[in-house]
Homo-oligomer: A and B are copies of this chain.
Amino acid sequence: MGRVFVNIGLSLDGYMAPEGMTLEHWDHPEYKDWGAKWAALMGWIFGQQYFREILKLGPGGETGPLNDMLRHTMERTAANIMGKRMFEGGERGWPEEAPFHTPVYVLTHEKREPWSRPGGTTFYFVNDGPERALALARDSAAGRDVRIAGGANVIQQYLNLDLVDELEIALAPVLFGGGRRWLEGLGETPPRFRIDRVIHTPAATHLRYVRE
**Contact of A194 with B176 in the complex, beta carbons under 8 Å:** no
Most buried by B among A167, A176, A200: A200
Whether A190 touches B13, Cβ cut-off 8 Å, given contacts A200-B198, A202-B195, A205-B195, is: yes
Instruction: Say whether A163 faces chain B, with CB atoms less than 8 Å apart.
Output: no
**Contact of A33 with B188 in the complex, beta carbons under 8 Å:** yes
Q: How far apart are A159's CB and chain B's nearest CB, in angstroms?
A: 7
Contacts of A175 in B (CB 8 A): 159, 183, 186, 190-193
Contacts of A193 in B (CB 8 A): 12, 173-175
Contacts of A169 in B (CB 8 A): 12
Q: How far apart are A172's CB and chain B's nearest CB, in angstroms?
A: 9
A118 to B183, CA, bound (A): 42
A interface residues (Cβ-Cβ under 8 A, vs B): 12-14, 19, 32-33, 159, 167, 169, 171, 173-178, 181-183, 186-195, 198, 200, 202, 205, 207, 209
29 CB contacts below 8 A, A to B, read A12-B167, A12-B169, A13-B14, A13-B182, A13-B186, A13-B190, A14-B14, A19-B188, A32-B188, A33-B188, A33-B189, A159-B175, A171-B207, A173-B195, A173-B209, A174-B193, A175-B183, A175-B186, A175-B190, A175-B193, A176-B190, A177-B190, A178-B188, A194-B202, A195-B200, A198-B200, A198-B205, A205-B205, A205-B207
